[in-house]
Amino acid sequence: MIERYSRPEMSNIWTLQNRYQAWLDVEVAVCRAWSEMGRIPAEAVENISAKASIDVDRILEIEEVTRHDVIAFLTSLEEKVGPDARYIHLGCTSSDIVDTANALLLVQAGELILKDIRALLQSIETLARRHKGQLCMGRTHGIHAEPTSFGLKMAGFYAEFSRHLERVQAGLESVRVGKISGAVGTYAFLSPELEQRALIHLGLGVDPHSTQIIQRDRYAHFFTSLAILGGGIERLCVELRHLQRTEVLEVEEGFAKGQKGSSAMPHKKNPISAENMTGLSRLLRSNALASLENQALWHERDISHSSVERVIMPDSTILADYILTRLTRLLDGLVVKPERMLENMDRSFGLYFSQRVLTALIATGMPRQQAYEAVQRLAMQSWETRVAFPELVRADADMRTRLGEAALDELFDPSYYLQHEDEIFARVFNSKPVLS
């Protein structure tokens, strides 16, 4: 991933240094398991642990000749360790090391992403609670529908990102397994006991049947969870972009001192963060498609998946980390404009009360279609004449007769639409995920 979208903690996971270190951790764990089973002298394992280290430049130099990265890695270790290096990689095939190390790297990356989601959830909850009860217009098809609150908007996103957290957790557990089962997975030169011992040292579970590789439905599970997370991020960012349009302007992204919005128009304050994350979320979804394509490999394995994973493992995790932290920063600095929300509610002349009037007429015994037509007639008149809908209802003799003055006063109270807000908040936040 390009440096622009890379945060150091995540991008460091995917350096060659850390990747080869994960390979070495697996090799040492296998040696320890062999030693526990009496095959390798304990002194040899300690010698390997003490002397084996990663020299990226040397590994790459050897790979220029071998054209095989694992063999280059092993050759480099042999140069450092000496005769005891004969015990390294004993009975293993390359995928034993690479796939198990991939699990270690994906767990490191996945745990950081989970931390990011938890931080985002805290920011969303803060916004939701701060703006609970703040009336704003709810829209369907982009058109005024009925009032909601900005707190409820944010509570809805909290509920969604709680599900994203659960999905990413499940995806991470899917890849938290290793394999030390040898060529085609038969343990011909190894054993299930050795595998279990080695993976315990690494903190990984055992893949029950891995063939020569860990099957890529596990990877697809993880990367599709990131793709669905990206869809949720884009949904929130699209909402924020719409709310920042000049005609709406109910929220604004923070605008730092000295920041510029346009090279040509000095007045511009654009929703650049939300737009950036909208675009980057598309990459998360695109990479997930590649992970799905990687599931179907020839027989016990081929390496058509390998080149793909060299790209999508770092890129998707680095992007997810970047987007989540940027979104949290956006929300923490979001400028919410309650007065504008109330102004916008008035722009549709109180038409949002139409369903209240409709249900009130039905309650008097008027047939539904007749009531609908009566309310729609006044609603269209309000829209065309720009006269407030409540005024037209009050001025209509049939409406006054059927509903009565007292009922009319009650019908046009916008707080009616938030009567269940407390219950919704209780459902969302009383069942919230553990954030620590």
Taken in order 282, 234, 11, 213, the sign of the CA dihedral is negative
Measured CA to CA, the distance from residue 135 to residue 396 in angstroms comes to 28
Measured CA to CA, the distance from residue 116 to residue 426 in angstroms comes to 24
Measured CA to CA, the distance from residue 61 to residue 56 in angstroms comes to 9
Instruction: Find the helix packing angle between 94-130 and 217-243, rounded to 10°.
Output: 30
DSSP state of 143: E
Candidate list 262, 304, 307, 415, residue with the active-site label:
262
Measured CA to CA, the distance from residue 417 to residue 354 in angstroms comes to 13
CB 23 within 8 A of CB 15: no
Of 156, 143, 121, 127, nearest to 338 (Cα)? 127
Does 304 qualify as catalytic in the annotation? no
Does 68 qualify as catalytic in the annotation? no
Cα 327 from chain centre? 11
Measured CA to CA, the distance from residue 408 to residue 394 in angstroms comes to 7
Beta-strand pair 205-206/177-178 = parallel
Q: C-alpha angle with apex 156: 152 to 160, nearest 5 degrees?
A: 165
Neighbouring C-beta atoms of residue 379, cutoff 10 Å: 21
Candidate list 141, 209, 267, 299, residue with the active-site label:
141
So which residues are the catalytic ones?
141, 262
